[in-house]
Structure 1
Amino acid sequence: MRFKLYLSIDKHTFGNRLPFNYQYELSAVIYKILAGTNQAFAEWLHDNGFVSDKKIFKLFSFSRLQIPQYRMEGSFLKILSDSAEWYLSFLPERSTQEFIQGVFREQQFELGNRQARIRCRVQSIEMLSLPLFTEQMSFRTLSPMCLTLKRENGTDEYVAPDHPMAKELIRQNLLDKYKAFTGNDFPNHDAVFDFKVTNQPRSSLVTIKADTPQESKIRAFGCNFQLTAPVELMKICYDCGIGSKNSLGFGMVETTKENNKQEN
């Protein structure tokens, strides 16, 4: 279930600059808003999520802010627009239209850090209609895709979507999410599956919990891609993101015009 939030930006209270790395702060905004109206739901979402073979999935994703006009100033964004759009997508059925629209309606929140922050207000929220899901679809990332391989020492190696292992990482991640959500293994593990990047991936190094002892850096990639998969897995990709760390703002996707060409 996907929502489009229309935000107004108050540039007078704190200014009009935002750190380039603000995904972790956006994630915190979601949890804070949920906690303000339904503490039990927020705690469940944050602390538990859905579990598959000891892996925890939060099963939601979100985009970066879609800002019409801005410019880069070092490691900051100078926002020139008075408005922005923000996409949120939830797989859990408990996140009904009425619940999410009620939770986020007219919310006001601050985003950024001590060096640069803005104040935003939710002007309106719209539930978006689902695309027609087929077994082959084209997408583009609204937030960069994070794919991880485990090294022998247990640390993560971040790989690009054109890496030889990317296809299998994505396939297994979608199967794990399906099991976490339904409680069952996907019934057809031999189903046709393919993943192809259709443009040059764009690398981003995203800082999480900047300027704290817990600071970490995640390498992620924006790209366009074509996915071939059963419709059930295609819907999971659309609703809660591709790859890992979706609830930190990675891997949200939208369909592209190529899908319309396939339908015509």
Structure 2
Amino acid sequence: MRFRLTLRPQTSRQKLTLNYNYPFSSRVYAHIHESDADYSAFLHQHGYQLQNSAKTFKHFTFSKFDIPHKARPIEKGEDFILLSDQPIYITVSFFIDKAAEDFIVGFFKNQRISIYNKKYQADFVIESVESLAIPLADATTKRYRATSPMVIAEKRADGNDDYLPPTDPKFARYFAINLLDKYESVYGKGIQMDNTSLEKLINFKLVDTDKMRSKLIAIKQGRDDETRIRGYENFVFELNAPPQIVEVGFYGGFGKFTSSAGMGFCDIL
């Protein structure tokens, strides 16, 4: 399910860090913990674990901030957004049951949220929470735009990731592997096939790269284990796959680092 949040800055001319992805995700989990400690512990300690694997998924992502009115444009070299006193917006997306809708609305609405790192802090009140109805089951094949960076990676022999652009011939394969892992973390491991068959079951087709750009995101900023990840956004792709598999990726995010950095958030075209 998806929810559009309206955030009202508590004062004008606050500085919101440009690298707000990880701080925002951290504050969301803090609010979940305040509302439901058992659910929070499940997400942090276990998540949805893939059978016979150490991989876990939290099935959560979010859009970039929609900031219609800045106090002024971002100037060269600045690493913050100077906010006005006007509302800003963000859409959060969870792969959860319809029955959890009231719970999500309840722990967000009228809450105060602070988004900060070591240099900047911006404080907001969540004025409204709007549940978004998005049809997915009416067609197997749909087109999507990656409106936040999507991170697809190939693991190297040294254990590090090679971040792949959507134009890479291996991108579709690793996209499909990641999405199937997410599906099986929810419904159980039951689909055995080679990579060729998997790419037919979960068929990714790149459609438009005219506005595509890469973006480097830091997560766990300022810590010894700070990580920089690279994703690609503003490309259009076609996905043909069983609706139940697509739903897991659409609501929980496609690719890696969805819950920790809001990666893989896509809109249906």
Q: TM-score, normalised by structure 1?
A: 0.89
Paired residue for 1:145?
150
Change (3 A) 1:203 1:95: farther
Find 1:36's aligned residue among 34, 37, 42: 34
Paired residue for 1:160?
165
The aligned length equals 254
Of all paired residues, the percent bearing the same amino acid is: 29
CA contact (8 A) 1:175 1:185 kept: no
CA separation in 2, counterparts of 1:114 and 1:192?
Answer: 41
Paired residue for 2:48?
50
Paired residue for 1:23?
21
- 2:62 maps to a residue whose letter is F
Moved over 6 A (4+): none
For residue 72 of structure 1, give the secondary structure of its aligned residue in structure 2: coil
Pairwise CA RMSD of aligned residues? 1.9
Paired residue for 1:250?
263
Change (3 A) 1:142 1:107: farther
Shift of 1:165: 0.9
Find 2:246's aligned residue among 214, 234, 239: 234
Shift of 1:95: 6.8
Per-residue CA shift, 1:78-110, capped at 9, x if unaligned? 224611111111113387111101111111011
- 1:34 maps to a residue whose letter is I
CA separation in 1, counterparts of 2:112 and 2:145?
Answer: 29
CA contact (8 A) 1:137 1:255 kept: yes
CA contact (8 A) 1:207 1:217 kept: yes
CA contact (8 A) 2:8 2:85 kept: no
CA separation in 1, counterparts of 2:134 and 2:239?
Answer: 17
CA contact (8 A) 1:178 1:186 kept: no
Paired residue for 2:90?
86
CA separation in 2, counterparts of 1:127 and 1:243?
Answer: 24
Is 1:2–2:23 an aligned residue pair? no
Paired residue for 2:183?
178
Shift of 1:195: 2.4
For residue 96 of structure 1, give the secondary structure of its aligned residue in structure 2: helix
Per-residue CA shift, 1:216-260, capped at 9, x if unaligned? 21111112222222222221221111111110111111112xxxx
CA separation in 2, counterparts of 1:143 and 1:120?
Answer: 22
CA contact (8 A) 1:198 1:226 kept: no
Is 1:205–2:216 an aligned residue pair? yes
Find 1:107's aligned residue among 111, 122, 135: 111
CA contact (8 A) 1:194 1:227 kept: yes
Task: Point out where structure 1 has 5 or more consecutive residues left out of the alignment.
Answer: 257-264
CA separation in 1, counterparts of 2:169 and 2:192?
Answer: 26
Paired residue for 2:230?
219
CA contact (8 A) 1:4 1:87 kept: yes
Shift of 1:44: 0.7
For residue 89 of structure 1, give the secondary structure of its aligned residue in structure 2: strand
Q: TM-score, normalised by structure 2?
A: 0.88
CA separation in 1, counterparts of 2:223 and 2:159?
Answer: 23
Paired residue for 2:61?
61
Between Structure 1 and Structure 2, the one with more strand by share is: 1
CA separation in 2, counterparts of 1:157 and 1:192?
Answer: 22
